[in-house]
Amino acid sequence: MTKPELTKIIAAVNNKIVLPIAKIRNVEIIAKIRNMEIRRLIKHTFAETGAKLKSIPWRSRKVWGPALILLMAAAGTGYYLNTTVSAAMIYINGQQIGIVNSVEQGKQLVEEVLRKEGQTIGQTARTHDQIDYRSTRLKKGVINSGCLSESDLSNNLTTYVDGVELNIAGENIAILPSQDDVQNTLKAFQDYYNKPSDSNVIDTVNFVEEIATEQIETQPEEIQTADMVLDKLIKGKTASIDYIVKETDTWWQIARNNNMLTKEVLACNPGATENTALRPGQNIKIASSVPYLTVISEGVLTQTQAIPFEVQNITDESLAEGKQVVKQEGSEGLKQITTAYTQKNGTYIEKKVLDEHITKQPVTQIVAKAPSLVIYSIASASSRGSARISGLSWPVKGYVSSPYGYRSRDFHSGIDIAAGTGTPITASASGTVSQACYSGGYGNMILINHGNGVMTRYGHASKLMVSAGQHVNKGQTIGLVGSTGISTGPHLHFEVIINGQTINPITNLP
């Protein structure tokens, strides 16, 4: 057999046996080839060259030399397939990072890593990395001991998600998942202050600050939910501002007047302690919450306000000493007030009454009493707020932040006593609770009837702890200080009413 003929036989073996087998990845098919098909292919190859082989003596080197080569090639192929398995190499940006069973498994592994990276915000993460998959065969056992894991792939893969950055007045505030989340957050912030309803019709709402958004690529952990961003906007940012010490100021008083704790004021002034002396005119620092956003809104508010009923006392000589009988139950009247307003972050900066009319007249309560001493003494009531009574106590511990009387164009019918949210409110005198409910601008309000035409009102409570008809004793806790209704901060609005007309409480308190 000539050399060209030998070359043709070897090529036939490679083309029909070695190469087809090397391309097969299925393990079961390889096993069948190893057990059955190799013999058939070798036999078929020999059949094609049979005519030439018959003409040559079998003992000749021209016969057993090529035959030996064929047998070695077949044996080598079978050994290779028997001792290796199909696999795939994964490359990221040209660098090999691991081995998997197949290209398909590698792609599934990448998809799973991207899914888990973005699942916290409802997205599938993406990557700019160049990922390549290369098929190969490896010795048995190699892939079992070194197969690429999710964590290893995640550590080598650079991922990102889409987000929208919220910028307010040139400051980057947060990154949200989508533009819809940004708009919903801003709308929720407006509604937090405006509280639109059938009785509160909002005409216009505008932000003072410039707001901008930008679509960006970011890491999943940088994304914040709409609720998180809304909470951040509501709380605002803490800033340090100057405070000029007054003559009577103490560290405690400064903290109380600014809704802070003493230790918080001291923290703003490094080196200061509670024993550090303060000088009038001294400049110190206090912390103040500064809003990220300012909402200016205009609207019309319609409220129903209670009108206290009067109590008429008559003497009944037939009653035993100390006894009394209600001859006619009293009931409060109602009036409807329509007000146009302008608000800044929920605080009224302008109000104008458009309409006010009584919808229900109060009914005077008539009480028959046995002859007895009068507990309350009333002096001259010739001018508004000039009457005097005795026996009242302070309903809450604090300082008067707003006095009784005219404030600009409005008449303030009571006094405001500043106190922290949750501070106990006590009954200024014994009596019967006429009303304990939410009442328009008063918010959560308690009205106590002390008899003899004297009533006291407690407004803006955060919690009511008594109910209508309940008898309360002087000093008994009836509620907790809050900022409900029309209020700019936690305090108690306290009124003293005699025969339906308010008087100045401060002149009647000890």
Domain coverage including residue 186: 163-235
Question: How many Cα atoms are found within 13 Å in the side-chain-facing hemisphere of 255?
Answer: 14
Neighbour-count burial of 232, counting CB atoms closer than 10 A to its CB (0-12 exposed, 13-18 middle, 19+ buried): middle
Are residues 25 and 139 both part of a single domain? yes
Tell me which amino acid residue 221 is. E
In this structure, the strands spanning 333-344 and 95-100 are: unpaired
Give pLDDT, residue 170.
93
pLDDT greater at residue 19 or residue 60 = 60
Per the structure, how many domains does the chain have?
Answer: 5
Tens digit of each residue's pLDDT (9 = 90 or more) over 361-414: 999 999 998 654 333 444 443 344 445 566 789 999 889 998 998 877 778 899
Is the pTM for the entire model greater than 0.85? no
Alpha-carbon distances, residue 391 vs 103, 380, 450 (angstroms):
91, 17, 11
Question: How many Cα atoms are found within 13 Å in the side-chain-facing hemisphere of 121?
Answer: 27
Residues 193-217: what's their mean pLDDT?
Answer: 93
Q: Which residues pair with 93 in a beta bridge?
A: none
Model confidence at 31, pLDDT cuts 50, 70, 90, reads: very low
Cα distance between residue 249 and residue 251, in whole Å: 7
Which residue, 44, 42, 50, 49, is CA-closest to 18?
42
Residues 6+ apart with CB under 8 A from 430: 450, 471, 472, 473, 474
Contact yes or no for 305/313 (Cβ under 8 A):
no
Tens digit of each residue's pLDDT (9 = 90 or more) over 104-124: 999 999 999 999 999 888 889
Neighbour-count burial of 60, counting CB atoms closer than 10 A to its CB (0-12 exposed, 13-18 middle, 19+ buried): exposed
Are residues 95 and 179 both part of a single domain? no
Give pLDDT, residue 431.
87
What ranges in 49-149 are assigned the alpha helix state H? 50-54, 61-83, 103-118, 142-146
At 431, which CATH number?
2.70.70.10
Phi, psi of 226 (to 5 degrees): -60, -40
Give pLDDT, residue 223.
93
Are residues 343 and 455 both part of a single domain? no
- Three-state helix/strand/coil letters over 152-204: HHHHHCCEEEEEEEEEECCEEEEEECCHHHHHHHHHHHHHHHHCCCCCEEEEE
Are residues 211 and 345 both part of a single domain? no
Are residues 339 and 419 both part of a single domain? no
Question: Does pLDDT of 36 surpass 60?
Answer: no
Question: Does pLDDT of 39 surpass 90?
Answer: no
Alpha-carbon distances, residue 380 vs 377, 385, 388, 416, 452 (angstroms):
10, 10, 8, 25, 16
Tens digit of each residue's pLDDT (9 = 90 or more) over 56-65: 555 555 555 5
Are residues 325 and 429 both part of a single domain? no
Q: Backbone dihedral region of 344: left (phi > 0), alpha (psi from -120 to 50 degrees) or beta?
A: beta
Are residues 145 and 190 both part of a single domain? no
Are residues 327 and 311 both part of a single domain? yes
Q: Which of 157, 182, 214 is the last residue of a domain?
A: 157
Give pLDDT, residue 29.
44
Q: For the chain, first and last CA: distance in Å?
A: 133
Which residue, 414, 373, 417, is CA-closest to 394?
417
Are residues 404 and 467 both part of a single domain? yes
Residue percentage of the chain with pLDDT more than 90 = 51
Contact yes or no for 45/13 (Cβ under 8 A):
yes
Give pLDDT, residue 476.
94
